Amino acid sequence: MRCEEMPELISALVDNELSSEELAAIRSHMAECGDCRALYEQERALKRQVRSTAAHVAAPAALRQKVQRLFNEQAPGKAAERKRTWQSWFALRALRPAFAVMLVVLALSPLVYRWWPVENVSLAALATHEEIIAGRKVPARVSDPQELRKQLAQAVDGKFAPIALDLSMIHLYPVAGFMQKIDGREVLVTIYQGDGRTVTCFTFLGDEADAPRAAELFYDPAMRMNFYSFSRGDINGVMHRAGKVICLVVSKMAPAKLLALVRAKPGHS
């Protein structure tokens, strides 16, 4: 075992989260390596310090009163019926920038409408996702993911295959798919569903110029990959390239969450 592999294991050792094999391996390495022993002591000291420091932060009395008032006003289970007044929405500081953006968008909407660029393939994909979740597009379900991939690859004469994403950790599985022509280009659409959520994965031949102009670019140095994040309404998309194939994952999930998901599982074609 090399020292470069150790930091993650040492960190897990401090948290007592190692398997017995890992524990045996790390013990034998640390018996010989002073640097790693020192790192272990540092991480332990850091954990202790973080714990003791943070314990001093307590909920302010004003917050306790506010939450208690909330409980007194609302019976549990009936809270779904609770109504927010417009003042209480505005009182939420985090939403204030959103209100400001809404005002600006409202003011500029005639201009935006006039200057909106010709729709590109990625933005059209977001619209397709919206149709799927609204139930306007209902493709036939295929229970076997392998069969689904095969059928989709055949739909484009085997020129490329849909990107296979493993989203099982958030309980999403491929349930349906179809080939869609957008602006004359063949796009394979795979629908992942589970837990009432839907994620749609679009695969097509292209390059990074297929990302919308307004997309935010994130570079992952470890994977040496560019990820483009963009939204339309509350639909968000994250696009990346695997060779000549473009993979675009679309969902209502928050952009950062979606980006983290795609970065964790960029999939393979």
Partner 1 sequence: MDTLYALRYNAWAVSASKVRNDERERFSSEIMSHLDHLYRFAFYLVKNEDEAQDCVQEACARALSSYRQFTPGTNMKAWLTRILHNFFCDTYQRSKRIVSIDARSDGAEDKESYWQHVPIDNPGPEKQFLRQELGQQIRNALKSVPEEFCAPILLVDLGEFTYAQAAEILSCPVGTVRSRLSRGRKLMQIALGKYAGKEDSGS
Least Å distance, CB 14 to partner 1, is 8
Closest CA to 118 of 207, 208, 213, 188: 213
Contact pick of 259, 262, 266, 267 for partner 1 (by CB under 8 A): 259
* 102 contributes a contact to partner 1 by CB under 8 A: no
* 170 contributes a contact to partner 1 by CB under 8 A: yes
Whether residue 174 contacts residue 192, with contact meaning beta carbons closer than 8 Å, is answered with yes
Task: Give whichever of 15 and 157 is closer to partner 1, judged by the CB atom.
Answer: 15
Task: Give whichever of 8 and 131 is closer to partner 1, judged by the CB atom.
Answer: 8
* 66 contributes a contact to partner 1 by CB under 8 A: yes
**CB contact set of 155 (below 8 Å; sequence gap of 6+):** 178, 179, 186, 188
Whether residue 9 contacts residue 26, with contact meaning beta carbons closer than 8 Å, is answered with yes
Task: Give whichever of 28 and 89 is closer to partner 1, judged by the CB atom.
Answer: 89
Residue with structure tokens 């019976």? Answer: 75
SS3 232: strand
C-alpha angle with apex 133: 128 to 139, nearest 5 degrees?
70
Residue with structure tokens 């602006």? Answer: 183
Task: Give whichever of 6 and 121 is closer to partner 1, judged by the CB atom.
Answer: 6
Quote the CA–CA distance of 96 and 46 in Å, as a whole number.
37
* 52 contributes a contact to partner 1 by CB under 8 A: yes
Contact pick of 3, 24, 28, 79 for partner 1 (by CB under 8 A): 79
* 96 contributes a contact to partner 1 by CB under 8 A: no
Least Å distance, CB 204 to partner 1, is 25
Whether residue 228 contacts residue 213, with contact meaning beta carbons closer than 8 Å, is answered with no
Task: Give whichever of 80 and 111 is closer to partner 1, judged by the CB atom.
Answer: 80
The one-letter code for the residue type at 88 is S
* 27 contributes a contact to partner 1 by CB under 8 A: no
Contact pick of 7, 28, 138, 244 for partner 1 (by CB under 8 A): 7
Quote the CA–CA distance of 215 and 228 in Å, as a whole number.
6
* 77 contributes a contact to partner 1 by CB under 8 A: yes
Least Å distance, CB 245 to partner 1, is 23
Q: Which helix (H) or strand (E) holds 176?
A: strand 173-182
Least Å distance, CB 64 to partner 1, is 6
Burial class (CB in 10 A: 0-12, 13-18, 19+), 110: exposed
Return residues touching partner 1 (CB under 8 A): 7-8, 10-12, 15, 17, 41-43, 45-47, 49-54, 56-60, 62-64, 66-68, 70-71, 74-77, 79-80, 82, 92-95, 97, 169-170, 216, 218-222, 254-257, 259-261, 264
